[in-house]
Structure 1
Amino acid sequence: MAGVSSESLTTALAELEVQLPTGSLALAQELFGVLGAVDSSAGLRRALTDPSRSGASKSALVAELVNGKVSAQASDIVGKLAASRWAAARDIGDALETVAATVAIAVAENRTGTAVSGAPAAGGSASGGAASGLTGLERLENDLFAFNQTVESSHEVQRALAEPQASDAAKTALALKLVPAAGEEARTLISQAIVNPRGVKVTKLIERFGVLAARRQQRWIANVSVSRALTAQQTDRLQAGLNGLYGRELKINTIVDPTLIGGVRVRVGDEVVDASVISRLGELRRQLAG
């Protein structure tokens, strides 16, 4: 997905973010259900991605499709997706799949659990404990990985899951038996991959869900580069400051990088805060170059 479709998905995920703290698996399942309806109708996909139709018209079409079948929250999310611009007919389905999976992943993120102690980064150390967000996401990713490992280790299981004569219910039941200890979020995503793999291998779709979970984990990890090792007091102040800035308890990986000369560089997910001397010198050079 690229161009206008990528921009529409980015906007949708940004708008979704405020709903994720209270998201539910029921919402994810509703969105996956709408995805099934969209995937089953080429005419509907063309209508929802027709550049000559207004966003309001496409949103109204979706409202008519889902009226009384899903919650108002799910209807609103799908309506906004429909009102966006898409470069190809398949793109709206891909976006809806990503949004639905993100809701399920956020449910795992929001689960309470024990803190996870960070392993030291290469050349550095870890301090602080990540709150339940990282714990739940790591468990989800492990559950998905365990499922794929089990499937890929057995040709018999692969054949059974691909058997065209078997019902979705039978294949789903088999898939869930492979990971009896998996959490509800993993079970939801595995079930979706079985019922609607959307033209790819089940394990490939599970890999995609795993990548989404791994990306979300990065929101809970601060990779901090410093010119020299921090004292315990400095580390505590840094931990408190970053927790306050991001509104959650981050796992901090500190990396000693003498090339920074001084200051600190922090990366949390895709966001970088650079207060190093080398960065300021680089900015000065750009200003002088004019």
Structure 2
Amino acid sequence: MNGASREALAAARERLDALTDNTSVDAAKLADELAAVTALLDREVSLRRVLTDPAQAGEAKAELAARLLGGQVGGETVDLVSGMVRSRWSQSRDLVDATEELANTADLVAAQRAGALDEVEDELFRFGRIVASSTELRAALADRSATASAKGGLLRGLLGGKTNPVTERLVVRLGIAPRGRSLEQGLDSLSKLAAARRDRVVAVVTSAVPLSDRQKQRLGTVLARMYGREMHLNLDVDPEVLGGISVRIGDEVIDGTIADRIAEAQRRIGG
């Protein structure tokens, strides 16, 4: 997002945080309603253009949103969306992206309240690895001829009863409405959003064998010192790295594996 949209999203995040700070607000219900609004705005192109038209007064757009949503969703959702359409957006599509983010964040708030945010983060990461390793699953979810109901049923069958309910809701929504993203990309975005709930950075750590609790603690401490922020470790085991570890934080890779050193030696010999 650029310019006006970035400012509008920041304001929307603040309003959501203020709302969900009140524990009497049902965060899971709020997430479902915001997801329904996302689907509406994604489907109705002309509506989102009207609601983001800079030539229209913000209050008029807010009143239109309230009329459309009133009786369909709760008052908290109406207030949030009304506040969003009062803001200026660089592109109409940005409003949909922002509403989707708020829906996912509300679900993560529900997990955080239940003390399950770490669990949800880990499950999103592990499911991402499953998707990455399964050509059949990726093909089934990317099949344009398959209905949303069929895709949702597939994901619920894989996750139902095996993961936290928040994880299941997030993944099913993503699988049903990827909105131009691959499932892997969407899961990565969800993992980052979950980490941001505690202002943490996600580090993907790959090692030849599982790390001990002591090793994980030491690595987390070292990385937190390096980056100046709390670090959440997503752990992956890959025997092909032979030894050592590889750490990926965003686009940055710290590779200390034996396989990498062998590859570097081969490059030098070849050069």
TM (norm. structure 1) is 0.66
- Supply the distance in 1 between the matched residues of 2:132 and 2:173 (Cα, whole angstroms): 18
Matched, 1:109 2:89: no
Deviation at 1:67, TM superposition (A): 1.8
Task: State the match for 2:253 in structure 1.
Answer: none
CA contact (8 A) 1:4 1:85 kept: yes
Of residues 71, 74, 80, the one that matches 1:71 is 74
- Supply the distance in 2 between the matched residues of 1:32 and 1:3 (Cα, whole angstroms): 25
Greater Rg by CA? 1
- Supply the distance in 1 between the matched residues of 2:96 and 2:184 (Cα, whole angstroms): 19
- Supply the distance in 1 between the matched residues of 2:112 and 2:65 (Cα, whole angstroms): 29
- The structure with higher relative contact order (CA 8 Å, sep 6+) is 1
Task: State the match for 2:154 in structure 1.
Answer: 174
- Supply the distance in 2 between the matched residues of 1:24 and 1:36 (Cα, whole angstroms): 18
CA contact (8 A) 1:35 1:96 kept: yes
Task: State the match for 2:167 in structure 1.
Answer: 186
- Superposition RMSD in Å: 2.4
Structure 2 matches for 1:1-290, cutoff 5 A?
A: 1-21=1-21, 22=23, 23-111=26-114, 132=115, 136-180=116-160, 181-218=162-199
CA contact (8 A) 1:105 1:137 kept: yes
One-letter amino acid matched to 1:15: R
One-letter amino acid matched to 1:156: E
Structure-2 change in CA distance of 1:254 and 1:209 (3 Å): closer
- Supply the distance in 2 between the matched residues of 1:268 and 1:64 (Cα, whole angstroms): 43
CA offset digits 1:22-58 (Å, max 9, x no partner): 3421110110001100011111111111111111111
Q: Aligned to 2:137, what secondary structure does the other structure show?
A: helix
CA contact (8 A) 1:8 1:84 kept: yes
Q: Aligned to 1:218, what secondary structure does the other structure show?
A: coil
What residue ranges of structure 1 are gaps of 5+ in the alignment? 112-131, 221-251, 258-265, 270-290
Deviation at 1:268, TM superposition (A): 7.4
- Supply the distance in 2 between the matched residues of 1:217 and 1:183 (Cα, whole angstroms): 19
CA contact (8 A) 2:3 2:90 kept: yes
CA contact (8 A) 2:200 2:229 kept: no
CA offset digits 1:145-200 (Å, max 9, x no partner): 12211122111111111122222121112113333411111111111101211111
CA contact (8 A) 2:15 2:80 kept: no
What residue ranges of structure 2 are gaps of 5+ in the alignment? 202-219, 232-271
Q: Aligned to 1:59, what secondary structure does the other structure show?
A: helix
Number of equivalent positions: 207
